[in-house]
Each structure stands twice: as C-alpha cells, then as structure tokens.
C-alpha cells in the first residue's frame, strides 16, 4: 500500500520535533548539529526567539487578508528590499519556484510590451535548478527532472555553465532573457566565474536581453554579502529569492528594475498568499538582522574559519575528499567516496548535511552559527571520515 505521504522523497529515518539554534532534536531526544538548515532556509537558526516573537505577535493580530487590499508589512518589506538592492519593485510569493515563474513571465512580458513579441527564448544552464513546476523543470531541462512529465514547455535552451563561447553562439534576436544561479546550489555548489558573469552582463546589454538571477539559495546573506551579485559587481534586471528571506516561514520574492517590470500591470500576475502579513512580518525581521554590515562581516569571518578547517580536513583525508568550494556559508565538499555514505555517517554521529550534485555534500548552516559550533561540525566530519576509512580498509 502506498504511504499516506506521497513517496516522492526518499527520506532519512530521522524524526525531528524540536529545534534550537543550530540544533535539532528527535522524538527520542537525540541531538543533531544542523549544517543544512533546511537547505539554506533557517538562516537565523531554529526557533529563533526574536523571529518567534515577531511571528506570534503577528499571529495574534492578523494572518491573511488578500492582495486585493494594501498590506503594510508587505510594503515595508518591499521598501527595505528596494533600498538594499538593485531593484525598484517587488512581487511576493510563497516559494522559490513561484519567484522564478514571476521572473520568466516578467521577462517575456517586458519584450511583449516593448513591441518585440518574438523575443521569447530563455537561455538557462546545464546542471541548474530553478524549481519543480512544469515551467521550471523545462527551464533546467535535465532529464532527471523532466523524464515522464513531457511534454515540457518550449522556449528554454540549456548551455554549459561558465562557457561564454557557447552562450555567445546561442544568443539571438529571439533571446528574451538569460537565467542563472550566481552559485549553482543543487548542482553541487559551483560558483560562476567572475569573468563569465561580467561577460554575460555585457552580452545582455549589447543585445537587449534581460539578466535574471536565481538567488533563491545563494541570496540573503548566504555568501557574506546581502546578495551574491554584489560579490560579482553585476546587476541583474530581475532576481528571484526565497529560502533564507523567510527564515523558515514560506516566503519568496521576485525583485526587478522599473524598466524590466514595465509589462506587469494590474491583472497580469497574482498570488492568494504571496506577501501575506505573517510571512512579511517574519521577512522584515530576518532582513533587519541580516542586512547589517557587522552581521555580514561575521558571516565572512565564519566562512574563512570553516574553509580553513575544511582545508585541513582535506589534507587529513585525501582518499575521502576531493575539493572544498563555495562562498560564505554556502560550501560544497566534493567527495571521492559516495556523498550519501558521508551523509549517512553524519547521521550516525549526530551531524546533518545535505547532498548536492557532482557527488558533493553541502554545508549550509544557519548564518549565526558560532565558531565553536563550526569547530564541532568539522570535528564530526573528521570522525565520519575516519569511520568510513575503517569501513573501506
């Protein structure tokens, strides 16, 4: 008989019922150090007392009205995002996928409203991930996502990441937008090369193409800047965010310049829940904490510490690990053994990590993790590596 929960995930045998900071606790009271943070979501840790207070206070006042009315919390969050980024305007959603859907619709509508309705093609990159809707599996294009769900949407072309020659060849008068993750997340923590991203931007400017960044995983302080594009000095026209901005509450957003958003007039797009008072109360609280130079500097310092410790770990276990990569607290450990074996060993030792493409293990801890907790995480990884070595030898 089928499970009452649709078995579309192969789940670990872990049943968490409580969280506190970087720690998760199971039904049986076992304690786990969470270096995954719900896949880069719980950016301020579990059950953060400040966020809990903001959420419960708001819950006592007003949960939901509708986007038929003005929503003060939503306006405040939009203003904060506009003040802190390239963007002039924001559409709120409940997830990353929805933020990307808005981004793609907006890009097509821009060209349509610009008397260039044949510009509909969207260029994306191999190994990317933009969500699980029909449009977003079509955007990423990999068979792993699309197989059996055909027909997929037309109008997306995938080329090699970090390959400017291929991109230059594929760009045409039909290209509406180029979509990329500044750091590929699900793909295995693969950063765009700086030169590549600035060449992409140049190509966009020269050819009337919109640049859409998917910062759903790498945004909101994850890299040690508020958004990853700041590291690259490249401004998008449209950007999708989610994950970290809600700190664990479902919230996403599509940010855009006034120009890119010109086609999105009243009636062109919508969402029942997007930008509701509860989600935006939490979003405001998260952004206020993270959008602070001192906080972001600490993320950079912790990143340095974690990377140093991981470099040492690699030296100790050359037969287990191949490479450390990533920015800020978005780190990928490419393994020589099966990544899932390392993750399972972590579960046995009380450590939570997340698998990624290219046989990586992802470390995406809460951004407010302490130095001591980083130390502990690496010690646990060292124990996992020793354990696996014994097993192999």
Ligand X SMILES: *Cc1c(COP(=O)(O)O)cnc(C)c1O
For residue 269, the minimal CB distance to ligand X (Å) is 17
Q: Does 217 bind ligand X (CB under 6 A)?
A: yes
Collect all residues with Cβ–Cβ distance below 8 Å to 89 and sequence separation of at least 6.
Answer: 78, 82, 255, 256, 257, 258, 261
Cβ proximity to ligand X: between 127 and 217 the closer is 217
Q: Does 212 bind ligand X (CB under 6 A)?
A: no
Cα–Cα distances in Å, from 344 out to 12, 310, 347, 355, 385? 9, 19, 5, 10, 11
Question: Is 225 one of the binding residues for ligand X (CB under 6 A)?
Answer: no
> CA-CA distance, 330 to 346, in Å (whole number)?
18
- Is 99 within 8 Å of 252 (Cβ atoms)? yes
Tell me how far, at minimum, the Cβ of 263 lies from ligand X, in Å: 23
Segment interacting with ligand X (CB under 6 A) among 159-167, 211-219, 220-228, 271-279: 211-219
Residue 216 in contact with ligand X, rule: CB under 6 A: yes
Which 324-343 residues touch ligand X, going by CB under 6 A?
Answer: none
Assign residue 265 a region (left: φ > 0; alpha: ψ between -120 and 50; beta: otherwise): beta
Interface with ligand X includes 245 (CB under 6 A)?
no
31: its two tokens: 């304690």
- Min dist CB 390 to ligand X, Å, is 35
Pick 153 or 376: Cβ nearer ligand X: 153
* Interaction mask 171-190, ligand X, x per CB under 6 A: ----------x---xx----
Residue 304 CB: number of other CB atoms within 10 A?
A: 12
Burial class (CB in 10 A: 0-12, 13-18, 19+), 34: buried
Closer CB to ligand X, residue 19 or residue 182?
182
Measured CA to CA, the distance from residue 111 to residue 210 in angstroms comes to 9
Of the listed pieces 113-121, 210-218, 260-268, 349-357, which binds ligand X according to CB under 6 A? Answer: 210-218
Residue nearest to ligand X (CB): 96
Asked whether position 214 contacts ligand X by CB under 6 A, the answer is: yes
- In the list 87, 177, 242, 280, the residue contacting ligand X (rule: CB under 6 A) is 242
CA 285/CA 54 separation, integer angstroms: 7
Contacting ligand X within 79-98 (CB under 6 A): 95-97
Note whether 212 and 107 are within 8 A (CB). yes
Euclidean distance between the first and the last CA atom of the chain, given in angstroms as a whole number: 40
Residue closer to ligand X, measured from CB, 280 or 337: 280
Please work out, in degrees rounded to the nearest 5, the angle formed at the alpha carbon of residue 24 by the alpha carbons of 248 and 368: 60
- Considering the complex, what minimum distance in angstroms separates the CB of residue 200 from ligand X? 17
- Cβ-based nearer residue to ligand X, 112 or 132: 132
In the complex, minimum distance from the CB of residue 217 to ligand X, in angstroms, rounded to a whole number: 3
- CB of 166 closer than 8 Å to CB of 96: no
Task: Report the C-alpha gap between 153 and 186 in whole angstroms.
Answer: 21
Distance of CA 245 to the CA centre of its chain: 10
In the complex with ligand X, the residue whose CB is nearer, 95 or 353, is 95
Considering beta carbons, is residue 251 or 310 the nearer one to ligand X? 251
287 vs 313, beta carbon nearer ligand X? 287
Taking phi over 0 as left and psi of -120 to 50 as alpha, with beta for the rest, 103 belongs to alpha
Please say which residue, 39 or 305, places its beta carbon nearer to ligand X: 39
Cα torsion 222, 223, 229, 230 to 10°: value is 120
How do beta strands 360-363 and 330-335 pair?
antiparallel
Q: Which range touches ligand X (CB under 6 A), out of 151-159, 202-210, 214-222, 381-389?
A: 214-222
- Beta carbon nearer to ligand X, 228 or 378: 228
Give the count of residues interacting with ligand X (CB under 6 A): 15
Single out the residue of 19, 36, 38, 131 in contact with ligand X (rule: CB under 6 A): 131
Give residues 110-129 in contact with ligand X (rule: CB under 6 A).
129
Can you tell me which residue has the tokens 């670990």?
12
Residues that bind ligand X (CB under 6 A): 95-97, 100, 129-131, 181, 185-186, 214, 216-217, 242-243
């Amino acid at each position: 008989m089928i499970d009452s929960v649709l078995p579309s995930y192969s789940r670990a045998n872990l049943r968490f019922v409580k969280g506190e900071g970087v720690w998760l606790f199971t039904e049986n009271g076992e304690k786990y150090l969470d270096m995954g943070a719900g896949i880069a979501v719980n950016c301020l840790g579990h059950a953060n007392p400040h966020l809990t207070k903001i959420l419960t206070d708001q819950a006592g006042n007003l949960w939901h009205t509708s986007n038929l009315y003005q929503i003060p919390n939503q306006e405040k969050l939009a203003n904060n995002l506009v003040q802190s980024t390239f963007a002039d305007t924001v559409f709120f959603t409940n997830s990353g996928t929805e933020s990307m859907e808005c981004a793609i619709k907006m890009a097509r509508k821009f060209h349509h409203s610009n008397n260039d309705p044949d510009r509909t093609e969207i260029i994306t990159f191999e190994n990317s991930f933009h969500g699980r809707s029909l449009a977003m599996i079509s955007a990423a294009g990999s068979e792993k996502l699309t197989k059996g769900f055909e027909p997929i949407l037309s109008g997306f072309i995938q080329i090699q990441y970090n390959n400017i020659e291929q991109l230059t060849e594929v760009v045409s008068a039909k290209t509406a937008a180029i979509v990329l993750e500044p750091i590929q997340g699900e793909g295995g923590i693969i950063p765009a090369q700086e030169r590549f991203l600035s060449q992409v931007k140049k190509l966009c400017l020269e050819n009337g193409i919109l640049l859409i960044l998917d910062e759903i995983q790498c945004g909101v302080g994850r890299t040690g800047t508020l958004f990853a594009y700041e590291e690259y000095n490249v401004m998008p026209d449209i950007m999708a965010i989610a994950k970290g901005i809600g700190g664990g509450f479902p919230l996403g957003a599509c940010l855009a310049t006034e120009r890119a958003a010109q086609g999105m007039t009243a009636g062109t797009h919508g969402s029942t829940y997007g930008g509701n008072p509860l989600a935006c109360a939490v979003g405001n609280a998260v952004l206020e904490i993270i959008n602070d130079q001192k906080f972001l500097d600490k993320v950079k310092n912790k990143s340095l510490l974690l990377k140093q410790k991981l470099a040492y770990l690699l030296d100790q276990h050359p037969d287990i690990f191949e490479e450390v990569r990533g920015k800020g607290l978005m780190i990928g450990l490419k393994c020589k053994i099966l990544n899932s074996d390392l993750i399972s060993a972590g579960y046995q030792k009380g450590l939570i990590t997340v698998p990624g493409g290219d046989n990586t293990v992802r470390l995406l801890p809460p951004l407010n993790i302490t130095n001591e907790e980083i130390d502990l995480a690496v010690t646990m990884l060292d124990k996992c590596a020793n354990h696996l070595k014994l097993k192999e030898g």
